[in-house]
A = this chain, B = another copy of it.
Amino acid sequence: MGVFISLDFESSQPIYLQLIHQIIEGIAKKELQPGDPLPSVRSLAQDIGINLHTVNKAYQQLKQDGFLQIHRQKGVVIRPEGIPKADNIYKEQVQQKLRPLIAESICKDLSKEEFLTLCQTIYHDFQIGGRNDD
């Protein structure tokens, strides 16, 4: 089971945040599915050359956000019951994060249509095409 984590140690973005995003992307791409095991804090830390506490910080936050389930003596797995669905509170949090990005884009004359196209491109990268099963 290969580890598909790529970190940028030159980035101003904290390592534990990059780690969180990489794991979430793995889940979004269905490379990681509910029940799938993740490396132990020690093995993953050694594999990517960082401290086990940095890995643990990422795991703890992912657990807090409902992405992971952690058994003290067993191990770490993707939440078997699935990731908690988006509620209204989450949607507001998303909007709060989108706000500065959209404001800046408006200032720079990036049209709404272009912005939405940028979003669509990312969805395409994740190979999600607004699937309809009716």
Contacts and interface: CB of A to CB of B under 8 A. Distances in A.
Interface of A: 21, 24-25, 27-28, 67, 83-86, 90-91, 94-95, 97-116, 118-123, 126, 128-130
A1 B102 CA distance: 25
Contacts of A110: 86, 90-91, 94
Given A98-B118, A98-B122, A118-B91, A25 B103 contact: yes
Q: How many copies does the complex hold?
A: 2
A105 B84 CA distance: 11
A93 to B, nearest CB: 10
Secondary structure call for the A interface = helix
B126 A103 contact: yes
A126 B102 contact: yes
Nearest to A99: B122
Contact of A101 (B98, B105, B130): B98
A73 B128 CA distance: 54
